């Protein structure tokens, strides 16, 4: 199996949640799943994490490389047909940095239309709502604990709330591990 991991920078306020990315890598390694972290090669405003103010612009691909484990790829350089699934890391970057991306729209539509598994955590549920009606998942998501996961069988979307349900990283790891397990089992 070969999965894509969508990153949108590095850091909670303007990129991917680092903890969620690391927990995802751990679970994928646990189940011996090959993966390629990907990001767009575009400039976006950055958040200064000390004072929470927007500052200079940063490149999403370069920022994502910080947590891409040396394997980061430009989304334009990959053939999505070669991958069996997609996992979208949470963090506000998935909302702020992806508003007008045709590449991401094409990729999400491909995975959903091909009925290939799509994993999402935290804020990624709001990102996916741009491409698929997530209302049923969102209503169930509100009831999930951070260690739990949900599978929408109609769209083959898997979700765990991660930091939306609390800040205990051990419990978040359980939820991320559950979506990875469910994705490879279905």
**DSSP single-letter state for residue 24:** H
pLDDT at 135 over 80: yes
The angle at the Cα of 62, spanning 81 to 175, to the nearest 5 degrees, equals 60
pLDDT tens digits, residue range 81-131?
999 999 999 999 999 888 888 999 999 999 999 999 999 999 999 999 999
What does the pLDDT read at residue 68? 84
What does the pLDDT read at residue 28? 98
What does the pLDDT read at residue 56? 80
What does the pLDDT read at residue 109? 96
CATH class for domain 2-185? alpha beta
Provide mean pLDDT across the span 52-56: 70
Task: Give residue limits of the domains in the chain.
Answer: 2-185
Provide mean pLDDT across the span 63-79: 93
Band the pLDDT of 44: cuts 50, 70, 90.
Answer: confident
| Residue found under tokens 């990875």 | 180
Say if CB 128 and CB 157 are below 8 A apart: yes
Mean pLDDT score of the chain: 93
Band the pLDDT of 178: cuts 50, 70, 90.
Answer: very high
Residues 158 and 119: their CA atoms lie apart, in Å, by: 5
């Amino acid at each position: 199996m070969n999965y894509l991991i969508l990153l949108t920078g590095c850091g909670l306020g303007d990129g991917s949640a680092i903890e969620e990315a690391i927990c995802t890598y751990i679970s994928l390694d646990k189940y011996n799943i090959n993966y390629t972290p990907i990001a767009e090669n575009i400039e976006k405003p950055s958040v200064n994490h000390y004072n929470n103010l927007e500052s200079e612009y940063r490149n999403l691909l370069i920022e994502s490389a910080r947590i891409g484990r040396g394997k980061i790829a430009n989304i334009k350089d990959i053939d999505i047909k070669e991958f069996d699934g997609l996992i979208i890391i949470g963090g506000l970057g998935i909302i702020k940095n992806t508003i007008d991306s045709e590449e991401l729209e094409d990729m999400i539509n491909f995975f959903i239309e091909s009925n290939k598994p799509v994993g999402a955590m935290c804020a990624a549920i709001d990102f996916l709502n741009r491409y698929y009606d997530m209302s049923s998942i969102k209503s169930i998501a509100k009831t999930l604990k951070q260690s739990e996961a949900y599978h929408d069988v109609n769209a083959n979307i898997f979700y765990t709330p991660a930091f939306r349900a609390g800040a205990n990283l051990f419990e978040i790891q359980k939820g991320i591990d559950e979506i990875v397990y469910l994705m490879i089992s279905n």
